[in-house]
Structure 1
Amino acid sequence: MEDKKADIFNCGKELFSSKGFKDTNVSDITKMAGIAVGTFYKYYSSKEKLFLEIFQNENVMLKQSIMKSVDLNEEPIRLIKKLMSLNISGMNSNPILREWYNRDVFSKIEQEYREDNGVAKFDFVYNIFFELVNQWQAEGKIRKDIDGELIMGFFLSIINIDNHKEEIGLQHFPHIIDYLAEFIMKGLMVE
């Protein structure tokens, strides 16, 4: 049984990576996996559910890779700028994670996630960074008077600005991300 689920997962990942979410359908996945369409629905109630599971898996792997590549004891402003930069480049280079920026696709998937897990549960995107924020607050490196979830909202807004880089101006965009991360961190630092 688990082999079939793994086959569906792996075939879905391959097809979503090569064709994108919108151009992949359940019959494509089942054909590649060598199973009946009905078998797919024994494991996943929809294409969106499969995609979200794949997306979450890819996201966790990216975050783990990022966290292994940085020195968590580095000065907070420099570290957060690195984390933001690595996250954006990692998402842009992964065809599954890049779907985050396709608002037509991801808003539908996000809605399903919220229905299944509740509004407050859509935090897997920054759970590792959230732990870091909590650690910095406990160590007195950043302000404690601002809720950790609000701080994460500041950083999530930087990531979402990527959806508007053409409107902002591509020539300025990388610098804007860098400065916004710096400005946010300077505002959070304990004086």
Structure 2
Amino acid sequence: MDNKKTQIYDSGKELFSLNGFKDTNVSDITKKAGVAVGTFYNYYSSKEKLFMDIFLDENVKLKKSCLQSIDINNSPLEVVRQMLALNVQGMKANPILREWYNRSVFNRIEQIYREENGLENFDFLYDSFHEVILTWQEEGKMRRDIDSKMIMTIFAAIINVDTHKEEIGIQYFPEVLDYMSEFIMKGLTDCP
């Protein structure tokens, strides 16, 4: 990566981590990076684009860490439960990833990112888990009549439920998420 782009990226990551997305602006990032504002726009079309690039990189690191922490030989239900729990813990612990829960911010970032990059470039939630799904399908542990990408989309939907826990009811949410995971996994592992 170009040295100036790296400086901008690293400065943005540090400032977004310290101040959050809303309270960080391009001027702050370029000042910290020691570059002109115009240089920023040579590499990133917007603050949102930089943030999303950082978010995606942090998300990939988290998913890889989650996968390394679980025993894939456990039952698919147990693996998914562990993966969901580790994912939620990791997102809440990382200030960049925690912005996912600030829906007004994240909806804006997501919209701009989709407009710039297209819908097909936004499948980031469980890409590294796809190989596990394919293996389970080959081993007969998961339904083969459902496309693996559809299964990945179902898992993404489970994660998205977490952003609606207040509407569901905080007191019920952990149990609701656990039941949803159980019911979905039973449906996906009931191989015809």
Q: Same fold (TM over 0.5)?
A: yes
The question of whether the paired residues in 1 share the 8 Å contact of 2:67 and 2:129 is answered with no
Task: Tell me the CA shift for residue 143 of structure 1.
Answer: 0.7
Contact 1:17–1:95 (Cα < 8 Å) also in 2: yes
Distance (whole Å) between structure 2 residues aligned to residue 121 and residue 2 of structure 1: 23
How big is each residue's C-alpha offset from its partner over 1:54-93, in whole Å with a ceiling of 9 and x where there is no partner?
A: 0011001101111111111211111111011111111111
**RMSD across aligned C-alpha pairs, in angstroms?**
1.6
Give the 5 Å matches for 1:17-36. 17-36=17-36
Displacement over 3 Å in runs of 4+ = none
Structure 1, unaligned stretches of length 5 or more?
Answer: none
Question: Do the aligned partners of 2:11 and 2:33 also contact (CA within 8 Å) in 1?
Answer: yes
Kept after mapping to 2: 8 A contact 1:143/1:190: yes
- Correspondence for 1:182: 182
2:8 maps to: 8
Is the 1:140–1:190 Cα contact (8 Å) retained in structure 2? no
Task: State the TM-score, normalized to the length of structure 1.
Answer: 0.93
Unpaired runs of 5+ residues, structure 2, are none
Secondary structure in structure 2 of the residue aligned to 1:8: helix
Amino acid in the other structure paired with 1:107: N
- C-alpha contact 2:48 2:113 (8 A) present in aligned 1: no
Once the two structures are TM-superposed, the CA of residue 112 in structure 1 deviates from its matched residue by 2.9
| 1:88 paired residue number | 88
- Is the Cα contact below 8 Å between 1:59 and 1:125 reproduced in 2? yes
Instruction: Report what 1:116 is aligned to.
Output: 116
Q: Give the TM-score normalised by the residue count of structure 2.
A: 0.92
Contact kept, 8 Å, 1:12 with 1:50, in 2: the verdict is yes
Q: How many corresponding residue pairs?
A: 191
Map 1:60-99 → 2, pairs under 5 A: 60-99=60-99
Identity among equivalent pairs (%) = 60
